[in-house]
Amino acid sequence: MMMTMTATTITIMLSTAVMYLTTLISKKNNEDREKSSPFECGFDPKNSARLPFSSRFFLIAVIFMIFDVEIALLLPMPITMTTSSMKSWAMISSAFLLILIIGLYHEWNQGSLEWSN
C-alpha cells in the first residue's frame, strides 16, 4: 500500500514538473503586432462582423443538411435487408421513402428549392 502511494506521488510530481518546464520553455517573448492579430483572409477584423446574408441561402443549407442525414439513414438499408424479414424491411423502407418523397414534394410546392425568386 505504501509503495503504491509513493509511486503515485512520484508520478504526479514528475508529470507536474514536466508540464511546468514545458510551459516555461514554450513561452515566446517576441511579440509582433502582425503575428498577434487574427488572420481574416485579407478582411479588416476591426469592421463590423454583422453582415447581412441571404435567408434563401440559409434555407438551402438547412435543406442540404437534411438531405445528408437522409442519405446517412438510407445507406444501411441494403445491409439490414439480410438480417430482417423481407416483409418488415419492405414496409419500413417504403414508409421511410414515402415520408422523404412527401417532404420533397412539400419543399418543391412551397418554392424552397428555387434559388432565385
Alpha-carbon span 3 to 29, nearest angstrom = 42
What pTM, to 2 d.p., does this model score?
0.48
Does a structural domain hold residue 45?
no
Range of the domain at 102: 51-116
* Dihedral (CA of 88, 90, 93, 99) sign: negative
Does a structural domain hold residue 72?
yes
How many structural domains compose the chain? 1
pLDDT in tens, 25-71: 876 656 666 666 666 566 665 666 666 767 777 888 888 888 888 88
- Scanning 44-85, the segments in alpha helix (DSSP H) are 55-74, 77-81
Does a structural domain hold residue 100?
yes
